[in-house]
């Protein structure tokens, strides 16, 4: 028994170097991205059997006909060690940077778009990105050379570990470790779905939507809604236009009182009475997939799935030709192309053949120029511009406010030391650039005959932190800088929408269908804002590991916002603000004695998100 136990210890020692690096990496992830501490043990417990299986396979190969003495074995073992370690540790590094920049893990699907993204990163980050890549290649070369020099010792360690036991006991040792891992995961009582989304290695392989996912009640409801939907015999077949501008904050727009003229084209439309806007408007999420799917599908982000019955699906049934023109990756990022669904006739994003890079808005205009002129078939257009985003290509012609950046200072974005005044100037220049390309979109559509009879909206998919609470970028929080976006309706003819005091992205699609005379699907969460007071509540969901949730309520002329984070008592946090008197969210009412308002907001969130609030021990 002691020999077998000693064999188990030797296997653990063989796997220890990588497990040590993995422990450091996952502890950094738990601190930076607010993962539960149990994620450390789960991650190590997942890697341990994989490590043991790796060494066991090579031990079997080495024992057969004394292969360990042959040169090909030493070359193969060295190469396998290198790619195993490089693969895991590069994945940690890439996932850390991707989380810092856009709040998502790198996935296997992202690799299919690697070359276009590398070009985009170079244009956004500048020559320093080439230097960082060169340093990485040099480090990899040094690491491989070191392994090659030490490979005789590595082979001896492998032989020492597996010298005494037979194949039977080798298998038994691996099974013992698997049993230990299973027991660890059992006692941690971890939700499998949450585990897959939070672990960097597991998420790399699993975060792509399955071709035929297991049908949830929400999916079945969406499929039933699509089958039951009936297009009325008579409705107004007007063109429908949605323009989404990445990171577009409501409080940095000149026509809403911002002192800088960031949006001269839109300001001109406002002065001419060409559009009407919602007074208090929000995104329902804090990243692009959440915001885009909320505006197209009228569903809150926690209900998004590939079977959502969205506005393009409704219009396709009504005889429309549907178009999606996006800057950026709308194919592999968040598996977005799958979520857009099968009813898109013309799809073009930053990965499509273009003269410009993936994050350059000029590429969208280039693709739009290729569409035919209007032929009487009603058309739906969805445009997504990226100019205000930190990774977008910034043109010097629009660098109006200085000092500002044309290339992102990626070291400061990742490691700290960001200059708020520079980031604000850069962001405002991006809005100015996006306003220009919005004007260009209008001109192309007008030239091609699509603006004779239309209804549309201009909005942002989410906000952008510009230093508030030390918050830069998006996907980290659900404060107002992260989610307060404009919602602007415009039409080919003057129409009074009435007072629109309140609304969110899920209300866009119902409003547009009402203007066409089409009934909104009963499954939609949003409601029309046309000549209505709007909803009295809405809900928001945070991207960062799916943790943040929130409810907003209009009551007695005031707006209240409730946020909570985490599922367990150990990481649970809740915030309650009266936005009417505290728009900067500086006074957390949830820290006071429980009130009837806090109880009501907890009930709203509990009913919407189907989880105990506060969580039960």
Q: How confident is the model over 550-563, as pLDDT tens digits?
A: 999 998 889 999 99
Q: Looking at residue 316, what is its pLDDT? A: 98
- The full length of the chain comes to 617
Does 78 or 388 have the greater pLDDT score? Answer: 388
Residue ending a domain, choose from 191, 206, 221: 206
Q: Cα separation of 561 and 539, whole Å? A: 9
Contact 473, 300 (CB under 8 A): no
> Is the model's pLDDT at 266 over the cut of 70?
yes
> Is the model's pLDDT at 587 over the cut of 80?
yes
Say whether both 167 and 195 belong to one domain.
yes
> Is the model's pLDDT at 96 over the cut of 60?
yes
The whole-number average pLDDT for the span 333-359 is: 92
Examine residue 213 and state whether it is found in any structural domain, yes or no: no
Say whether both 505 and 558 belong to one domain.
no
Q: Cα separation of 44 and 67, whole Å? A: 31
> What percent of the chain stands above pLDDT 70?
83
Q: How far is CA 571 from CA 191, 550, 592, in A?
A: 15, 16, 19
Sign of CA dihedral 10, 14, 18, 20: positive
CATH of the domain at 580: 3.30.1120
> Is the model's pLDDT at 591 over the cut of 80?
yes
Say whether both 361 and 409 belong to one domain.
yes
Q: Cα separation of 189 and 274, whole Å? A: 56
Segment (H or E) for 81: helix 71-102
> Is the model's pLDDT at 444 over the cut of 90?
yes
> Is the model's pLDDT at 481 over the cut of 90?
yes
Does 135 or 359 have the greater pLDDT score? Answer: 359
Say whether both 407 and 467 belong to one domain.
yes
Q: Cα separation of 93 and 100, whole Å? A: 11
Residue partners of 198: CB distance under 8 A and separation at least 6? 35, 39, 545
Nearest in space to 140 (alpha carbons), one of 208, 222, 85, 98 = 85
Residue partners of 539: CB distance under 8 A and separation at least 6? 284, 300, 549, 550, 551, 552, 605, 608, 609
Does 605 or 173 have the greater pLDDT score? Answer: 605
Residue ending a domain, choose from 180, 206, 232: 206
Say whether both 174 and 283 belong to one domain.
no
Say whether both 304 and 453 belong to one domain.
yes
Say whether both 9 and 151 belong to one domain.
yes
Say whether both 512 and 576 belong to one domain.
no
> Is the model's pLDDT at 130 over the cut of 80?
no
3-state per-residue secondary structure call for 146-211? HHHHHHHHHHHHHHHHCCCCCHHHHHHHHHHHHHHHHHHHHHHCCCHHHHHHHCHHHHHHHCCCCC
Does 541 or 160 have the greater pLDDT score? Answer: 541
> Is the model's pLDDT at 196 over the cut of 80?
no
Partners of 122 in the beta sheet? none
Examine residue 44 and state whether it is found in any structural domain, yes or no: yes
> Is the model's pLDDT at 261 over the cut of 60?
yes
> Is the model's pLDDT at 44 over the cut of 90?
no
- Phi/psi region, residue 328 (left: phi>0; alpha: psi -120 to 50; beta: rest), is left
Q: How confident is the model over 369-426, as pLDDT tens digits?
A: 999 999 999 999 999 999 999 889 999 999 999 999 887 766 665 566 678 899 999 9
Examine residue 222 and state whether it is found in any structural domain, yes or no: no
Say whether both 555 and 526 belong to one domain.
no
Say whether both 455 and 556 belong to one domain.
no
Q: Cα separation of 503 and 283, whole Å? A: 9
Say whether both 495 and 586 belong to one domain.
no
> What percent of the chain stands above pLDDT 90?
51
Query: 263: domain range?
Result: 241-534
Helices 128-161 & 2-32 angle (0-180, nearest 10): 160
Does 183 or 28 have the greater pLDDT score? Answer: 28
Q: Looking at residue 153, what is its pLDDT? A: 75
> Is the model's pLDDT at 546 over the cut of 60?
no
Examine residue 64 and state whether it is found in any structural domain, yes or no: yes
The whole-number average pLDDT for the span 536-547 is: 82
The whole-number average pLDDT for the span 426-432 is: 97
Contact 454, 491 (CB under 8 A): yes
Range with lowest mean pLDDT among 96-110, 224-238, 545-559: 96-110
Q: Looking at residue 470, what is its pLDDT? A: 81
How many domains would you assign to the chain? 3
Examine residue 220 and state whether it is found in any structural domain, yes or no: no
**Angle (CA) 280 285 290, round 5°:** 125
Q: Looking at residue 58, what is its pLDDT? A: 80
Contact 43, 109 (CB under 8 A): no
Q: How confident is the model at residue 189 (pLDDT cuts 50, 70, 90)?
A: low
Nearest in space to 92 (alpha carbons), one of 144, 18, 151 = 18
- Phi/psi region, residue 413 (left: phi>0; alpha: psi -120 to 50; beta: rest), is alpha
Examine residue 569 and state whether it is found in any structural domain, yes or no: yes
Residue ending a domain, choose from 184, 206, 228: 206
Q: Looking at residue 163, what is its pLDDT? A: 63
Examine residue 196 and state whether it is found in any structural domain, yes or no: yes
> Is the model's pLDDT at 290 over the cut of 80?
yes
Mean of per-residue pLDDT scores for the chain: 85
Longest dimension (CA), the chain: 87
Pairing of strands 321-326, 454-460: unpaired
Q: Looking at residue 90, what is its pLDDT? A: 85
Q: Looking at residue 46, what is its pLDDT? A: 79
Q: What is the DSSP string of 12-42?
A: HHHHHHHHHHHHHHHHHHHHHTT--THHHHH
Say whether both 473 and 553 belong to one domain.
no
CATH of the domain at 499: 3.40.720.10
Contact 294, 283 (CB under 8 A): yes
Residue partners of 532: CB distance under 8 A and separation at least 6? 498
Examine residue 227 and state whether it is found in any structural domain, yes or no: no
Prediction pTM value? 0.86
Q: Is 390 helix (H, G, I), strand (E, B) or coil?
A: coil
Partners of 381 in the beta sheet? 241, 323
């Amino acid at each position: 028994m002691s020999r077998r136990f000693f064999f188990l210890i030797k296997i653990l020692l063989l796997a220890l170097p990588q497990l040590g690096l993995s422990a450091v990496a996952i502890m950094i992830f738990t601190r930076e991205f607010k993962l539960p501490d149990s994620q450390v043990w789960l991650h190590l417990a997942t890697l341990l059997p994989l490590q043991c299986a790796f060494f066991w396979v090579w031990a079997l190969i080495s024992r057969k006909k004394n292969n360990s003495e042959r040169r090909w074995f030493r070359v193969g073992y060295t190469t396998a060690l290198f790619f195993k370690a490089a693969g895991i540790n590069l994945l940690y590094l890439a996932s850390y940077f991707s989380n810092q920049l856009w709040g998502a893990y790198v996935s296997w699907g992202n690799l299919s778009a690697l070359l276009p993204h590398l070009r985009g990163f170079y244009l956004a980050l500048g020559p320093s990105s080439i230097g960082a890549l060169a340093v990485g290649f040099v480090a990899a070369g040094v690491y491989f050379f070191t392994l090659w020099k030490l490979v005789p010792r590595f082979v001896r360690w492998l032989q020492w570990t597996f010298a005494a036991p037979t194949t039977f006991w080798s298998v038994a040792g691996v099974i013992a470790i698997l049993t230990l891992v299973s027991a660890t995961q059992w006692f941690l009582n971890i939700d499998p779905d949450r585990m897959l989304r939070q672990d960097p290695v597991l998420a790399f392989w699993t975060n792509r939507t399955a071709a035929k996912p297991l049908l949830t009640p929400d999916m079945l409801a969406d499929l039933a809604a699509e089958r039951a939907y009936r297009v009325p015999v008579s409705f107004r077949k007007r063109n429908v236009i949605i323009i989404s501008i990445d990171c577009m904050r409501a409080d940095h727009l000149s026509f809403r009182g911002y002192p800088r003229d960031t949006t001269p084209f839109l300001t001109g439309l406002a002065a001419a009475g060409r559009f009407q806007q919602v007074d208090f408007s929000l995104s329902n999420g804090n990243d692009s997939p959440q915001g885009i799917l909320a505006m197209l599908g009228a569903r809150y982000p926690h209900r998004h799935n590939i079977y959502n019955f969205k506005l393009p699906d409704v219009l396709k049934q009504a005889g429309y030709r549907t178009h999606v023109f996006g800057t950026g990756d709308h194919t592999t990022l968040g598996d977005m192309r799958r979520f857009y669904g099968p009813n898109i006739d013309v799809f073009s994003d930053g990965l499509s053949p273009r003269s410009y890079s993936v994050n350059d808005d000029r590429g969208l205009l280039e693709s739009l120029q290729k569409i035919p002129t209007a032929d009487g078939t009603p058309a739906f257009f969805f445009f997504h511009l990226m100019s205000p985003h930190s990774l977008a290509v910034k043109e010097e012609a629009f660098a109006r406010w200085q000092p500002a950046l044309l290339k992102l200072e990626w070291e400061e974005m990742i490691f700290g030391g960001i200059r708020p005044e520079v980031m604000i100037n850069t962001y405002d220049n991006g809005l100015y650039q996006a306003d220009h390309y919005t004007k260009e979109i209008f001109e192309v559509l007008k030239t091609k005959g699509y603006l004779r009879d239309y209804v549309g909206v201009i909005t942002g998919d989410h906000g952008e932190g510009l230093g508030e609470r030390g918050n830069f970028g998006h996907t980290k929080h659900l404060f107002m800088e992260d989610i307060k976006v404009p919602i602007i309706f415009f039409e080919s003819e003057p129409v009074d929408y009435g007072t629109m005091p309140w609304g969110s992205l899920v209300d866009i699609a119902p409003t547009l269908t009402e203007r066409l005379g089409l009934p909104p699907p009963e499954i939609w969460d949003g409601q029309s804002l046309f000549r209505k007071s709007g909803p009295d509540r809405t809900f928001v969901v945070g991207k960062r590991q799916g943790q943040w949730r929130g409810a907003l309520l209009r009551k007695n002329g005031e707006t209240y916002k409730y946020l909570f984070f985490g599922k367990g008592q150990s990481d649970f946090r809740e915030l309650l603000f009266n936005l009417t008197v505290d728009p900067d969210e500086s006074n957390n009412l949830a820290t006071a004695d429980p009130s009837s308002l806090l109880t009501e907001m907890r009930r709203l969130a509990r009913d919407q998100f189907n989880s105990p609030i506060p969580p039960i021990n």
